[in-house]
Structure 1
Amino acid sequence: MTALEELLAVMATLRDPERGCPWDREQDFRSIVPHTLEEAYEVADAMECGDRPAMRDELGDLLFQVVFYAQIAREEGSFDFDAIARGVVDKLIRRHPHVFGERRETSAATQRATWEAIKAEERAARMDGDQPPSALDDVPLALPALTRSRKLQSRAARVGFDWPEAHHVVDKVREELAELEEAMADTPWDQTHIHEEMGDLLLACVNLSRQLGVDPEQALRDGNRKFERRFRGLEGILADAGEDPESVDFQRLEAAYQQAKASDRGS
């Protein structure tokens, strides 16, 4: 028995109506989605840390989520793990005609264009005949907002709805920031208006990151990690001076942060 076959057997046992685990038996497709998302982020965290043992463990946990879905589907008679694997094999072969077929691509850019054209054909084939196809079809709502925004804007760009150069998007960011500042000038603040303008500003920032070839989700994750590292440095600087962050004013906090920032850059 292969390790994968054993994993499938373990999953079937966990779901067994008589001797399985009560928690596992209670789960359905919807109830395990939050766990799947959590496991995917734990994989990403292990990758960012470069921790190979953790990567192995977290990828195993993510694979278990797929096996869990497959077992539930097998019990209801809709599909099983083999059907999932066969589906992805067929899809990869279909989307790589330059590898598995007659077609030959001359660059990564032309290969990407072929990939997207094939995906568009697949989306059109899945669409309800009563609904007109859209370039924005099948961008999942459950994606993190930054990632979904980038995907939506990338789809729009493929049909020509895009700024020709990145500096035009910088101008758009400035325009949206000015509109947010105008909303903030109202007294009292109209939170609905501010909310809308903040969304427009974030959308423009995501567009700029896409133009610059930067993944906004990853950039923000890296920015969060950098802020956390420097803020912990701030706390260390204050502790060495016998000070508490909650008992000093903002100017002292900012000075300590700048000191931590300089030290972080130096290292």
Structure 2
Amino acid sequence: MNSRPSQLQAFERLLNILDDLREKCPWDKKQTMQSLRHLTIEETYELGDAILDNNMEEIKKELGDVLLHLVFYAKIGSETNAFDIADVCNEICDKLIHRHPHIYSDTVVKDEEEVKQNWEKLKLKEGRTSVLEGVPKSLPALVKASRIQDKVKAVGFDWEEPSQVWDKVQEELAELQVEVAAGDRDKMESEFGDVLFSMINYARFLNINPEDALERTNKKFIQRFQYLESKASALGKPLMDMTLAEMDVFWEQAKKGTNTK
């Protein structure tokens, strides 16, 4: 691993390169925070993919892409004297010190859960009126549900046992079936949302990240379906001309190939 001076030197190199690009590159000169926003989101998702694949080489590359964006925003901020990279670093350093009084002050905590509770209490003291203010509105719904549940848990609003949460899942499923039978689409959608929310809550009690779990299933399905497509192509037979029974043969082969059920 690189020494701290080498790490700082590498970071300074990045800052210098971005200064050059901002001054000399036609594309980089035109960028704004607004034009970079969707690219930053894309880079973050690519990092997430690399993490799910546990591909260290790709994680390193994607971290670099994300870091470039962070430095880019700071560079743009410095051009209007709003803030620069030092301000950004000092802001997060001050926040970390303030929110870790068990490290930088005399507060005593017994475990990770108490650290989370103190974190939320400190944020409220900083001026927030709700523990849910820190949940970004633009988060995907599944991730947002997880963050909402984490936030309210930190202030004690939570179930006590996993069995209680599972009972709630069953209750919501029953309510969904009632609305399905009634045929009211709006109520069905509402109840379906309740089912998803309760399942995400149950995942939390099982220490499962629902986003990761669903993405694993997405990847598994893609792998199996592409195997099915390759087999159909080898036979010279379009999928739409195959029966479900024919497709299921290859699907079962794909399942065995991934050692999953």
Where on the TM-score scale, by shorter chain, does this alignment land: which range? 0.7 to 0.9
* TM-score between both structures, scaled by the size of structure 1: 0.83
Which one of 127, 144, 150 corresponds to residue 146 of structure 2? 150
Q: Deviations over 1:170-229 (max 9, x none)?
A: 22223323333333334xx54433332322221121111112211111111111112222
Contact 2:165-2:198 within 8 A present in 1 as well? yes
Which one of 93, 96, 114 corresponds to residue 118 of structure 2? 114
Aligned mates of 1:35, 1:77 — CA distance in 2: 24
Aligned to 1:181: 177
Pairwise CA distance, 1:48: 2.5
Pairwise CA distance, 1:94: 1.9
1:52 aligned onto 2:56 = yes
Pairwise CA distance, 1:61: 0.7
1:259 aligned onto 2:250 = no
Which runs of at least 4 in structure 1 moved beyond 4 Å after TM superposition? 236-243
CA shift in 2, pair 1:154/1:83, >3 Å: same
Aligned mates of 2:247, 2:74 — CA distance in 1: 52
Aligned mates of 1:226, 1:205 — CA distance in 2: 20
Q: Deviations over 1:109-165 (max 9, x none)?
A: 33333333333333xx2x4xxxxx122122111222111111112222334432222
1:13 aligned onto 2:20 = yes
Mean Cα deviation higher: 103-112 or 167-176: 103-112
Contact 2:102-2:108 within 8 A present in 1 as well? yes
1:171 aligned onto 2:167 = yes
1:68 aligned onto 2:72 = yes
Pairwise CA distance, 1:239: 5.0
Listed as ranges, the gaps of 5+ residues in structure 2 are 1-7
Listed as ranges, the gaps of 5+ residues in structure 1 are 128-132
Aligned to 2:195: 201
Contact 2:120-2:151 within 8 A present in 1 as well? no
Pairwise CA distance, 1:80: 0.4
SS of 1:265 mapped into structure 2:
coil
SS of 1:31 mapped into structure 2:
helix
Q: Which amino acid aligns with 1:81?
A: I
Aligned to 2:134: 138
Q: Deviations over 1:63-110 (max 9, x none)?
A: 011011101111111110000111111222222222233334343333
**How many pairs align?**
254
Which one of 24, 28, 33 corresponds to residue 28 of structure 2? 24
Which one of 14, 38, 43 corresponds to residue 39 of structure 1? 43
RMSD after superposition: 2.6
* TM-score between both structures, scaled by the size of structure 2: 0.84
Aligned to 1:221: 215
Q: Which amino acid aligns with 1:86?
A: N
Aligned mates of 2:136, 2:260 — CA distance in 1: 41
Aligned mates of 2:134, 2:96 — CA distance in 1: 18
